[in-house]
Structure 1
Amino acid sequence: MMYCMIFAPFTRKDNHGRPVAFGAGLLSKENADSFSWLFECFVKCMGCAPKLIITDQDLGMKVAVERVLVDTRHRWCMWHIMFKVLEKLPKNLLGNEDLKKELNNCVWSELIEPEEFDEEWNKVMEKYGLKDNEWFSSMFASRKFWVPAFFRDFPMSSLIKTTSISESQNIFFKRYSKSRSNLVEFLMNYNNALDGQRNNSNMLEYLDFNTIPTLKTNSALEKHASTIYSDSGFKLIQSEIEVAVDNVTMVTVSIIGENEIYVVNDKFSKN
């Protein structure tokens, strides 16, 4: 008799922004009990629970996270939710570009507070007659699981909003495995995949160690960033620093209690 096992890897980004697997399990079923067992084993092996976990909207996984990872912030993949928008819109609104633009501006913004999101969402729903739409109503009710406005208090949450790194990692593992492999073959292929992953990481670490970044400004912030970020991470933040140096100036610095208040002026929105 042949048994089909479900491969369940845990994936994160490394300091180069690349997906890396740091654990995996084999499940017989995709239900709350199986996921609970998986999370319990994960915490036992790692010594602690993750601070943030991103999944699809699987109900069994949601129950398992609430049951086992009680102090972990649970986030749903934004891409999967927004991909469904076109399926859930009434036919008369499918070609409405203004609706898509306003909805994206409301949902994807990392700069608005939860109360502002609620207000903007309700405006869009009212304007386009979607207040009674069952799917949009359910997504609004579950907004704390997927809307960036509700993760503003979580450090670095803007770096990962979707399960895209897991999807790319799944593709990576498929290069090393076959669906009909037995357990021994699977473990050999899995270890080969991890060896390949480690070799790639070691190569990037070597290049980082032996490369001197080219600075584009005289900013002390850019110079400091070049010493603490990996090459890929530095290139991402370097462009932001360059724009800031060209467009932003410091106005005042004040201290109120334990807080330092910086007022800056930029060419686009003033103070």
Structure 2
Amino acid sequence: MGIAPKLIITDQDLGIKVAVEKVLVNTRHRWCTWHIMAKVAEKVPKSLLGNYEFKKDLNSCVWSELIEPTEFEDKWKTVMETYELEGAEWFVSMFESRKFWVPAYFRDFPNSSLIKTTSVSESQNSFFKRYTQSRANLVVFLMNFNNVVDAQGNHSAKLDYMDSNTIAKMKTEWSLEKHASTIFTDGAFKEIQEQILEAYNHCSLVSISNDSSPEVYKVLDHFSNTCTVTFSMEDSVCQCGCKMFSRTGLVCCHIFLVLKNKKMRLIPENLIGGRMLKSPLVKAVHVVQCQDVATHVYVDEKKKAQAILLGEMLGRYQAVSVDIDQIHELTSIVREARQQIFADGIVTSTAQKKKLMEEFYGAEAPQEVDVQPPEVINTKGCGSRLPSRVEKALKLKRKPLRQCKKCQKWGHHDSRNCDKFEEKEKRRSRRNSEV
């Protein structure tokens, strides 16, 4: 892409780690937190597997984005001492590599709340697999890839159109909420609305210091966290210690409470992220000037014409979607229009498609193909891996219960192995009592 990425997220592959350090010198490297936390069940003693307090303490220590690195280190040490895990080799190695996977060390990085795990790339892999085949040649792959890009663009344009025609439901009486509904997309507004409700119902001002500029506010939220918010009267710049806006691009509940206290009716421009704004491309569909967003000025007449066409098509589709007769009538009209516009350009037969391809590339397809696609290799393992204890327990839990004819109990055994099952349960209860 011409420049190195600002952040790369992978699993715990040491080869990639060394390569990133040598080649992508200015790139932040992050490990997938979800993959690491999924291994905890296999690394802790059996006595901690069902301990709810241990899971709660460890998750609050690792997953929290509101704590600083020093606070994380103190909490981690407390958890290790409380549950006697100081000498556990896996936990020691994970603490030594904490700067690669703990969210507390990425509080200063603007990831737009997206790049936390490898789920983003996995979802893209799943999306592309719907359009491509593993043994497709290069030409078919490029055609399918173009279909993928068109599908994503069409979906994005449809969401933009729905944003411009959907009126959000207000849950408070604040004018800030109404202003947010007019400038943010539907998905971003729902998240911002949660922060507004949090500020409206649960947040409170602990102290206010307006002796100097900027003013300093102490805000207590629903989770008993006290955050420091600074507000500058000169340029309405507002910053919060939780760093949610710099991290995700969304205004936090602490800032909303300060804005309410200042009786502001509109969200300041410095707190409006450009990535989550409603697209001005849709505004052009309804012949609305989009000069209010200076970063998005569409001067391409072709794009404007495409936006108008897309708006007309989606509008007609929504108008007839409730009546099946109107749907059939609109479908026939579209087919007739296609015949009129593409009368000479429609390719119907396989021979015509092949001829069109050969004319486009200036070469004929060979009669014999010497180079074959490589064999498909399963990259997710050979399938012979032994399941772990957790996987076995989950598989057994999903099986339906059956009634034993000997002991008349419901479980996962029958009359043939009833005695073995009872003996196993006795040994397990004795072991638990000794622990």
Q: What is the TM-score normalised by the length of structure 1?
A: 0.74
Deviations 1:31-84 (A, max 9, x none): xxxxxxxxxxx3x1xxx3333222222223222322333222222111111111
Task: State the SS of the aligned residue for 2:66.
Answer: coil
Query: Contact conserved, 1:177 with 1:186, CA < 8 A, in 2?
Result: yes
Q: 1:131 aligns with which of 86, 94, 97?
A: 86
Tell me what 2:104 maps to.
149
Change beyond 3 A, Cα 1:225–1:71: farther
Tell me what 1:122 maps to.
77
**Bigger strand fraction:** 1
Task: State the SS of the aligned residue for 1:169.
Answer: helix
For 1:1-271, what aligned pairs fall within 5 Å after superposition?
Answer: 42=1, 44=2, 48-156=3-111, 158-250=113-205, 251-254=207-210, 256=212, 259-265=214-220, 269=224
Change beyond 3 A, Cα 1:134–1:255: farther
Task: State the SS of the aligned residue for 1:240.
Answer: helix
Query: Contact conserved, 1:222 with 1:241, CA < 8 A, in 2?
Result: yes
Task: State the SS of the aligned residue for 1:75.
Answer: strand
Q: 2:210 corresponds to which letter in structure 1?
A: S
Unaligned runs of 5+ in 2: 227-435
Task: State the SS of the aligned residue for 1:86.
Answer: helix
Q: Whole-Å Cα distance in 1 between the matches of residues 80 and 219 of structure 2?
A: 35
Change beyond 3 A, Cα 1:180–1:270: closer
Q: Whole-Å Cα distance in 1 between the matches of residues 192 and 94 of structure 2?
A: 33
Change beyond 3 A, Cα 1:122–1:168: same
Query: Contact conserved, 2:68 with 2:105, CA < 8 A, in 1?
Result: yes
Question: Shift of the alpha carbon at 1:150?
Answer: 0.9
Question: Shift of the alpha carbon at 1:242?
Answer: 1.3
Greater RCO (CA < 8 Å, at least 6 residues apart)? 1
Question: Shift of the alpha carbon at 1:244?
Answer: 0.9
Question: Shift of the alpha carbon at 1:223?
Answer: 2.9
Task: State the SS of the aligned residue for 1:109.
Answer: coil
Question: Shift of the alpha carbon at 1:264?
Answer: 3.0
Question: Shift of the alpha carbon at 1:158?
Answer: 4.4
Unaligned runs of 5+ in 1: 1-41
Q: 2:145 corresponds to which letter in structure 1?
A: Y
Q: Whole-Å Cα distance in 1 between the matches of residues 21 and 109 of structure 2?
A: 18
Query: Contact conserved, 2:198 with 2:222, CA < 8 A, in 1?
Result: no
Question: Shift of the alpha carbon at 1:108?
Answer: 0.8
Identity %: 63
Higher Rg of the two aligned structures: 2
Q: Whole-Å Cα distance in 1 between the matches of residues 135 and 211 of structure 2?
A: 65
Question: Shift of the alpha carbon at 1:233?
Answer: 0.9
Tell me what 2:270 maps to.
none
Paired residues, number = 225
C-alpha RMSD over aligned residues: 2.3
